[in-house]
Structure 1
Amino acid sequence: MAHRSRLAGFIIDCNTDNLDAAADFWAQALGVTIADRNAGDETCEYQQFGDTPGDLYIEVQKVSHPSRVHLDIEADDIDAEADRLEKLGAKKVAFVKRWWVMEAPTGQRFCVVRMKNPELRSTPNEWV
């Protein structure tokens, strides 16, 4: 069965006790606004940026691992997309909450998340 996916955006993982300060720094550094200081839920602390280039989804996330930047690929079928990426050489690292953490053949971590607002931003790629 066919599924669709596309680049969702970038997540700035911050190992910090002060996510407000981290979000303020990155918003000023990137020249964007903070659209939602409470974008997370009971399982994750996020702050979402607005006015981003190309309407990319960019947010800061409070994490317990070392700080880093990772990208998200969004798909209407996350399992099918994770399987497609495995065939390309990626590895499934873990299913966390509601997304797949993956590792590229060159070691970079990224996530496969559920597609939000498929009608917005760029047209998703369709995979058979």
Structure 2
Amino acid sequence: MHKSRLGVLVIDCQTNDMGRHETFWAGALGRDKEAGSKDPKYRDLKGPDSELRVLLQSVDHEPRVHLDVETDNIPAEVERLTELGAQEVGSCKGWVVMQAPSGHRFCVVPPQRPDFEDNANVWGD
């Protein structure tokens, strides 16, 4: 048995100037900018804990939006999603990059939000 749910909306920005994009998206979505980012490639847009996390990511590919599915068991969730028709296309920093039958990329990641345990879907026996 494991748990998972939609955890993060990731806005992929093809840029070396994350500050400009952080200012725009924070203003557009009514979120607060992250104070003192530890990694220049990522910026969290702070909102209520009960809402979907929004993360900006600096990328080399074309700009797009992708989803992160958070789970307490990455291998079990990858297996479940593969059985539904997704394909594993890579891994990075401990998470798995997958592609849906529709062609959309998404990641399977460890829990990201504080209410994960109480609000995630339960899979298996």
- TM-score, structure 1 as length reference: 0.87
Q: Is the 8 A contact 2:18 2:58 kept in 1?
A: yes
Q: Which residue of 2 aligns with 1:5?
A: 4
Structure 1 residues not aligned, in runs of 5+: none
Cα distance in 2 for partners of 1:12, 1:121 equals 25
Q: Percent identity?
A: 40
Cα distance in 2 for partners of 1:31, 1:50 equals 9
Query: Per-residue CA shift, 1:77-116, capped at 9, x if unaligned?
Result: 1111011000000000101121110000010000000113
Q: Which residue of 2 aligns with 1:70?
A: 66
Give the drift of 1:119. 3.5
Q: Which residue of 1 aligns with 2:77?
A: 81
Cα distance in 2 for partners of 1:32, 1:112 equals 24
Q: Which residue of 1 aligns with 2:97?
A: 101
Q: Which residue of 1 aligns with 2:33?
A: 34
Cα distance in 2 for partners of 1:87, 1:72 equals 18
Secondary structure at the aligned position of 2:8 is classed as strand
Query: Per-residue CA shift, 1:7-37, capped at 9, x if unaligned?
Result: 1020001010100101111111111111345
Secondary structure at the aligned position of 2:81 is classed as helix
Ranges of 4+ aligned residues in structure 1 off by more than 6 Å:
none
Q: Is the 8 A contact 1:39 1:48 kept in 2?
A: no
- TM-score, structure 2 as length reference: 0.89
- In structure 1, give the amino acid aligned to 2:67: L
Cα distance in 2 for partners of 1:50, 1:3 equals 27
What value does the CA root-mean-square deviation take over the aligned residues? 2.0
1:12-51 equivalent positions in 2, closer than 5 A: 12-40=11-39, 45-51=41-47
Cα distance in 2 for partners of 1:119, 1:108 equals 26
Structure 2 residues not aligned, in runs of 5+: none
Secondary structure at the aligned position of 1:55 is classed as coil
Q: How many positions carry a matched residue from both structures?
A: 124
- In structure 2, give the amino acid aligned to 1:6: R
